[in-house]
Amino acid sequence: MREFTALYTALDETTKTNEKISAMRSYFEHASRADAAWAVYFLTGRKPKQLVQAPKLATWAIEAAGLPEWMFGESYDAVGDLAETMALLLPDSTHISERSLASWVEETLLPLRGAPDTVQRQVMLDSWQQMNEAQRFIWNKLITGAFRVGVSQRLVIRALALFSGIDAQVIAHRLMGTWEPTPAFFQALVAKETADSDVSRPYPFYLAYPLESDPRTLGDIFDWQAEWKWDGIRSQVIKRSQQVFIWSRGEELVTDRYPEIAQDAILLPDGTVLDGEILPWKEANVLPFSQLQLRIGRKEVSNKLMTDVPVVLMAYDLLEWQGEDVRATPLRARRSIMTDILRGLPGVSPEENCNAPLTTGGAEVPACQRLSTRLRISPTIQCRSWEELSQQRETSRSLNVEGIMLKRLAAPYRVGRQRGDWWKWKVNPYTMDAVLVYAQRGSGKRASLYTDYTFGVWDNGALVPVAKAYSGLTDEEIREVDRFVRQNTINKFGPVRVVEPQLVFELAFEGIQRSSRHKSGIAVRFPRMQRWRRDKPAQEADTIETVRALLQE
């Protein structure tokens, strides 16, 4: 318990990721497997169901502290946390127990469930007597099920990876699903790699840079492959040892969330890894990203959800073939093999999973619409000149894509974000001129500045909020807006300041949707401040009608 308490304190006293990881790593290095298993359990936010009701705990703490109830109440008001108040008020212990975390949890904490009050009371009074203040605080938190510490599961995984030398992806995979925090579990969690752990492992994704210069600077267009830039979830689909694994770019194993893709992927030859985009897809159309959001967070996928928002994998690259890593092979060759694999899937005639170009004009949908399979090939766009391609790019919105991807045909599949071989050439964003109406302070480094803004546009003479934006201004501009906010506040609601509607900003955003949750009836995607329109008075900002008109585009 002492070491786990020290770990909690170390995590609580820093905001720096590296220090948190190093504190956890050091804990795992010294802890027994039994303790480490429980630590992983609690640090990743798992908790036993509430064991003792909080008011009962308070009653016993008041009794042990020998204080009147009102004094406990005053103390609680000053502290603001029940577990902490109890820890601070209980009398000092004469003897601090050296029992381990696992022993406390398994032999004392878990048996509390369902025990009669008299037993629970005695156990609590005894345990408090054997702990110092910091330990009692943790203990009370564990018992009330309110234990929280500022680390994400991903940080815990990184610490475990450093400690064990096992890949983070493997650890992540081993932490999936349900498990019991036993010594054997922890041992298996950090065990040297086995065939079993290799099976699921994805490759690092290759990420594109935005193209900021004229595409002609890229040289001959025939050295490049052009595809649509899909707006979905970047994913790898792995078929190995007769099993399918789907990984999202967030290094999350999401196989269970997209069962229809997993079902089709099982038909892939063993030893195949595809890179592509999971897209919501219905009747030959890609649906807006907001539809996909309905599925992103769901671990349980109902039939209704699968009917409402069906998904496909739009595959665009091949990373492994016949169990061999083919990333060093030029794109041209990878693409050709991938096409053969996907066309050769059982139940799909070769003509069906085609690679036909999209026509211009936006009236026709990608030619692969008739396929029964949910594994599709991202079509290439055939153009003879950059000008022609540029015209094609203008149709992006009508196709529900974000623009064009440019990939060098002779290039290998690289690791991480690198310049040179892959570029994203997005269509210009939507814009609107909106008025700053509310401001809120930021967090972290920006905690003392008003950096989080809400913007409104005109609706019958009043400003209706349409977007929140946090980014896009220079530090200098932020300070200027901060000053404006402080000097022009007309009302406050908690941390939110209502300001004089004076400042106009050009907001850029990627998409626009109808929304019943927003007063304005619309929701915009990725809004950010593109320009401060100092030249524009608030009266001349956009109206809600103008913004709604973008829905039709």
Partner 1 sequence: MVAGGDLISLTESGLFCAAGNFYIDPWGPVDRAIITHAHSDHARPGSKAYLTVNEGIGVLRARLGQDAPIEGVRYGESVTMGDAKVALLPAGHVLGSSQVRISSHGQVWVVSSDYKLGQDRTCEHFALVKCNTFITESTFGLPIYRWRPDREIFDEINNWWSTNRDAGKCSIIFGYALGKAQRILAGLDPSIGPIYTHGAVERLTHEYRAAGKLLPDTIHAGSLSRGTKFGGSLILAPPSAQGTPWMRQFGTVSTAFASGWMRIRGTRRRKSVDKGFVLSDHADWDALNKVIRDTGAERIIVTHGYTAEMVRWLRENGLQAESLATRFEGELAEMQPDSAQEPQEQDESAAAAVETSTDSQEDSSA
Which spans in 297-405 are helix H?
303-308, 331-343, 386-393
Name 233's bridge partners.
278
Q: Does 93 bind partner 1 (CB under 8 A)?
A: no
Q: Does 80 bind partner 1 (CB under 8 A)?
A: yes
Q: Does 78 bind partner 1 (CB under 8 A)?
A: yes
Closest distance to partner 1 from the beta carbon of 66 (Å): 9
DSSP secondary structure string, 243-311?
EEEEEETTS-B-GGG-HHHHHHHTTSPSSEEEEEEEEEEETTEEPPHHHHHHHHT-SS--HHHHHHS-E
State the binding string over 438-457 for partner 1 (x if CB under 8 A, else -). Answer: ---------xxx--------
Q: Indicate which single residue of 6, 14, 112, 308 sits in contact with partner 1 (rule: CB under 8 A).
A: 14
Q: Indicate which single residue of 29, 74, 196, 223 sits in contact with partner 1 (rule: CB under 8 A).
A: 74
Q: Does 480 bind partner 1 (CB under 8 A)?
A: no
Q: Indicate which single residue of 17, 45, 71, 293 sits in contact with partner 1 (rule: CB under 8 A).
A: 71
Tokens 């005053």 — which residue? 74
How far is Cα 468 from Cα 454, in angstroms, rounded to an integer?
Answer: 4
- In this structure, the number of other CB atoms found within 10 A of the CB of residue 262 comes to 20
Sequence-ordered list of residues with C-beta below 8 angstroms from that of 203, at least 6 positions apart, any chain: 236, 273, 275, 319, 320, 325, 327, 413
Q: Does 75 bind partner 1 (CB under 8 A)?
A: yes
Q: Does 106 bind partner 1 (CB under 8 A)?
A: no
State the binding string over 112-151 for partner 1 (x if CB under 8 A, else -). Answer: -------------------------x--------------
Q: Does 460 bind partner 1 (CB under 8 A)?
A: no
Contacts with partner 1 in 152-191 (CB under 8 A)? none
Closest distance to partner 1 from the beta carbon of 515 (Å): 34
Closest distance to partner 1 from the beta carbon of 439 (Å): 13
Q: State which H helix or E strand residue 438 sits in.
A: strand 430-441
Q: Indicate which single residue of 49, 55, 70, 210 sits in contact with partner 1 (rule: CB under 8 A).
A: 70
Backbone torsions φ then ψ of 293, nearest 5 degrees: -60, -30
Q: Indicate which single residue of 6, 88, 115, 267 sits in contact with partner 1 (rule: CB under 8 A).
A: 88
Q: Which residues of 86-103 are buried (b: 16+ CB within 10 A; e: fewer)?
A: bbbbbeeeeeebebbbbb
How far is Cα 311 from Cα 235, in angstroms, rounded to an integer?
Answer: 12
- Among the candidate windows 67-75, 115-123, 428-436, 540-548, which touches partner 1 by CB under 8 A? 67-75
Q: Indicate which single residue of 3, 54, 64, 81 sits in contact with partner 1 (rule: CB under 8 A).
A: 81
In 442-518, at which residue ranges do the beta strands (DSSP E only) sit?
450-459, 462-469, 489-493, 496-499, 504-509, 511-514
Q: Does 485 bind partner 1 (CB under 8 A)?
A: no
Contact residues for partner 1, defined by CB under 8 A: 12-14, 65, 67-68, 70-71, 74-75, 78-81, 84-85, 88-89, 137, 447-449, 482, 486
